[in-house]
Amino acid sequence: MNLLLTCCTTPDFTRNHFALWNNFCIAEWMPGDELVPYLLFSPTSEFACIDAIVFLEPNEGVGYREWPDGRLTPFPEMMPWEAHYGNAVIAQRIRCLPETCAMRDGRKWKRIPQIVLTKHGRRYEAYDGLDIEFVIDVTEMMLFSGYASPVTWDKIEKIVNQYHREATADYERVGFVVTVDHGLYRVKRAYHKRSERESEFYYGGKDKRRFHGFVTIGRDDCIRDPLNLRAVEKALGYVPQFSERAVLIGRTPQTDDKGLWDKRKAEQPSVRIITYDEVLQEQRDRRARRRPRVSFFQ
């Protein structure tokens, strides 16, 4: 899940917040005043692959005011309600982007989900009438209060998955074969249609993919897939409430390659990379914990 974080003013978001987000998704930051010009004029926006744009809560205490006696007191560079109206303007400008403004897979920027974070579950009137989703933000609670439920990212993922389901239906209308297999949304070009540049979610002129077969365009919660529920429950004895994506590969690299190995694992923070050596070591540790202790004293 690739997310683009933004705000029209300084957000209530620190490096620790950003690091936590990258444990659950791939998150990038861009200032609000740069976002629309980037989408319109930057060639690199055509090579991006973003699943949703997330508007962060504005910071209520940035900047300083100097009084006549020389005292400095903090003040917000704009009031929070003003910042939400500023974010709403950005959201509206994104929805009004040209049809040809699209990513490298042909998805239109104007149609991807837009999400507003809210710490208190409040829906701000600034966004009335806009196609916006509100998601409660538990980032600070997880960092400072020991709160352990990733409800923020679970909710965002559900919104993104719904978007992918709608987009797959749109792909079928422009000449793609769409399959859904164990939570994976995959497409393959079947034929060309004259209307392929005019669909709601997709603009074929910006699609830079080379189709030699099926291409994965998204994934749903495969644990909750009915085809997997029974197998998971049989293997574990229960169905986990929260799941983590992982990939099992070969052997653990040698000590000399540890730095490169750690770098490669950090490139995909939402997917845990496991080696066969780690699996075997875990089994050894479990056997050692279960081994009965023998007393040499009678």
Looking at residue 149, its pLDDT comes to: 76
Who wins on pLDDT, 69 or 3? 3
Type of residue found at 10 = T
As given in the structure block, the two tokens for residue 50 are 């973003």
pLDDT single digits (tens) 249-287: 777 877 777 777 777 666 655 567 788 888 888 878 777
- Distance, in Å, from the CA atom of 160 to the CA atom of 157, rounded to the nearest integer, reads 5
Q: Give the pLDDT of residue 254.
A: 76
Q: Which segments of the chain does DSSP mark as H helices, in order?
A: 15-21, 32-41, 80-95, 139-144, 151-173, 226-236, 258-266, 276-290
Which helix (DSSP H) or strand (DSSP E) does residue 165 occupy? helix 151-173
Closest by CA to 109, choosing from 46, 164, 162, is 46
Q: Which pTM was predicted?
A: 0.68
- pLDDT score at 198: 64
Res 114: pLDDT: 96
Pairing mode, if any, of strands 133-136 and 245-249? unpaired
SS3 187: strand
Question: Domains plus CATH for the chain?
Answer: 2-173 (3.40.50.2300), 244-290 (no CATH)
